[in-house]
Structure 1
């Protein structure tokens, strides 16, 4: 009766994992990036990626086409190795920016990822800098600035100027590097007859939420490093519910909006005091802004302050470079999570292996070999103990038969047997526990690092950050339909299940038949659960299973020979 209850409980738990695992993983562990390819007629074809734009969902039909809006006002062209676009001279807005080294999809003609877009166009998203003041005319959203040049490049800064009727000249001196950082010097020169007080500010505004999912393992939305601390607590829902917004005082720092791979951040220079805030406007747009301390400009004097704007991909190389140059903890814009201390070395090792091999899939395989090599001493002890368990299984079964109605005596005799044979039944758990941080670190790297985005491996695996697209459900693309995600079990997840089953078959049989049946079903449950995850993660697990099987067979053979016993069908035959 007890065994029947255990069996029912086990089956219920497996059903929960099998059918509820996908929903739970999507909520707490977003599985992978969107599918970027499909297999059709046996060929791999790229899919369009309509939701890559960080500004998200479709906009109202009343909005005008982006090209129309861009052509309505004078502009300064932006040309760098990483960025292309323009600055609107009406309002001095950074509102037209694409990332030239990042493509929306895998197709050769796929357009570059658009980060910023002008107001009045779909998915408006822009940044700007200016001043507020009492008793003085300051430039606003309708001000048309004069530019010193028509093109902004890393070698040619541009000065935007505007003078009010009372003699105050406002200037934005804009420069850009070869990465994703703009530097803006805000200068006010007072040629008037009286002193004026002005307060510099910066803002970033986006019309829509990001299309990227957010979860407790990956933050998307408002983000900041203020008061010496990175904050992932404020999200879209926070601003939806509290129209007053969130305000923080800080000395320096940065704030803005993050997508899964892209970031727009306002970075006041130095450690001057600022009042920073996130809010949602009456129009429904989300805004991050800061205001610096007021300054008084005497007649005949000028004051200059400096600020910066990061607008681009969260590439770790550039983020680290900007941190070295003085932007505090900009790399915190990548939500590494609690195990950042462990994930950064894993990422750095993967990057080094990628540069050495030229292929991220090969780099993941090399990482798997390295992990197994480091863990070999532990695996050595594990398999020595498991080989011992295999040898004493006949004795264990005999003890179980003798004391099946006396549980305390059974446990006592089992413990005595383990001590006599010098085996540890829990030894097999340690390697699994030690692999969890590596597995989670690789999961995070595949999820949050733009360097892994759209990276191919071989054959049909064209994007390691997306699920395996090749599935027998549609006869590997020969049937003209795309199966739903729940059923689209790819080749790599199938190999994962098969190799896990083979690995379990090599383990000592469980004395409890219910546990043995659970172990028999578990590989196929994991196959279904892992199907929506990134192909790179599946590749790591498959290779790790294969290495474990090879290692297991070799070490079992070695320890069986040392013990003078050959194991055959769990019955010892003395040599």
Structure 2
């Protein structure tokens, strides 16, 4: 079921970029045209230039070749969508992988993950180690973010006092708040820059782990026998539940949600932000349908961030 993703079509001609086919197309073809799902790809290579047409909006899109009065001569490639395997062919087929906006970062992580797999022989532990290294690399940003949150939490009583005192004079209130931030060395936007810098890294890992064919059938430990599939240890949610009825459920996304809750709880600086504690509940339900490898990354990241937060508090 997890492999039933909408088919994607791409085509490539000499001297041009690999292009995704998202609307009905009639064109000349000199290199290849492909159709693929999450993990597998089928590519057609003509012996010479040929015309073809396709409508990707159809439920079962068909690639129609028009050789005219020439004999149709095609070479066919059916393969899994492994970055190393496709890029080794030197014909642009690796561009058919869905690696997101920051694909160059995703490719870098694929190489590191495969390197770790060569050492440990287990993609689960490789994901954990990759996450640990990324978190260590980003620790200065995490530290700055935590310190900024702690500073804002410390001055909240003074902020509320000033807001109440100058509620009828917004200009004076802003001046007093800016003065308070300056004296207490607190920056209400201090946590934004570290988060913005981390977004490309997190998004690259997110998109990479969703479609990494190496995780297909790859076991981790105990009940996790396929990191490309959701954790299903606890079976299915009752069918009568709206929206989520019938979804599979397992301990991995539940642990992810729990660690996210504690992470949010110790990070909240303003009592008015208590609603943010509902986010882990929302994310837990979303992650029920995600591949176990992706949930494992998120869980490991949460645990490491929590450990960093606790360590910084003890070192204060």
Residue 264 (structure 2) pairs with residue 264 (structure 1): no
Q: Superposition pairs for residues 19-98 of structure 1, below 5 Å?
A: 34=2
> 2:251 maps to what in 1?
491
> 1:535 maps to what in 2?
292
The TM-score, its normalising length taken from structure 1, stands at 0.49
Residue 5 (structure 2) pairs with residue 213 (structure 1): yes
Residue 197 (structure 2) pairs with residue 430 (structure 1): no
> 1:337 maps to what in 2?
100
Match of 1:223 among 10, 14, 31: 10
Larger radius of gyration: 1
Between the aligned partners of 1:427 and 1:545, the Cα distance in structure 2 is: 21
Contact 2:247 2:289 in 1 (8 A): no
**Runs (5+) with no aligned partner, structure 1:** 1-32, 35-51, 53-211, 215-219, 239-245, 296-304, 476-482, 560-575
Report the CA distance between 1:510 and its aligned residue. 0.8
Shift of the 431–255 alpha-carbon distance from structure 1 to 2, 3 Å rule, reads same
Which secondary structure does the structure 1 equivalent of 2:5 belong to?
coil
Contact 2:229 2:290 in 1 (8 A): yes
Which secondary structure does the structure 1 equivalent of 2:89 belong to?
helix
Q: Which structure carries more helix by proportion? A: 2
Contact 2:28 2:51 in 1 (8 A): yes
Per-residue CA deviations over 1:132-172 (Å, capped at 9, x if unaligned) read xxxxxxxxxxxxxxxxxxxxxxxxxxxxxxxxxxxxxxxxx
Q: Superposition pairs for residues 352-371 of structure 1, below 5 Å?
A: 352-371=115-134
Residue 63 (structure 2) pairs with residue 275 (structure 1): no
Shift of the 556–455 alpha-carbon distance from structure 1 to 2, 3 Å rule, reads same
> 1:180 maps to what in 2?
none
Contact 1:265 1:311 in 2 (8 A): yes
> 1:191 maps to what in 2?
none
Match of 1:249 among 28, 35, 55: 28
Match of 1:521 among 268, 278, 284: 278
Report the CA distance between 1:363 and its aligned residue. 1.0
* Count of matched residue positions in the alignment of Structure 1 and Structure 2: 307
Report the CA distance between 1:231 and its aligned residue. 2.3
RMSD value, Cα: 3.1
Report the CA distance between 1:410 and its aligned residue. 3.0
Contact 1:389 1:508 in 2 (8 A): no
Between the aligned partners of 2:169 and 2:256, the Cα distance in structure 1 is: 40
Match of 1:375 among 124, 127, 138: 138
Q: Quick check: 537-546 or 445-454, which moved more?
A: 445-454
Contact 1:279 1:286 in 2 (8 A): yes
Which secondary structure does the structure 2 equivalent of 1:546 belong to?
helix
Report the CA distance between 1:542 and its aligned residue. 1.3
Report the CA distance between 1:359 and its aligned residue. 1.0
Contact 1:226 1:248 in 2 (8 A): no
> 2:304 maps to what in 1?
547
Between the aligned partners of 1:474 and 1:258, the Cα distance in structure 2 is: 31
Which secondary structure does the structure 1 equivalent of 2:277 belong to?
helix
Shift of the 449–540 alpha-carbon distance from structure 1 to 2, 3 Å rule, reads closer
Q: Which structure carries more strand by proportion? A: 1
Between the aligned partners of 1:439 and 1:262, the Cα distance in structure 2 is: 25
Shift of the 336–497 alpha-carbon distance from structure 1 to 2, 3 Å rule, reads closer
Residue 167 (structure 2) pairs with residue 391 (structure 1): no
> 1:510 maps to what in 2?
270
Between the aligned partners of 1:454 and 1:464, the Cα distance in structure 2 is: 7
The TM-score, its normalising length taken from structure 2, stands at 0.84
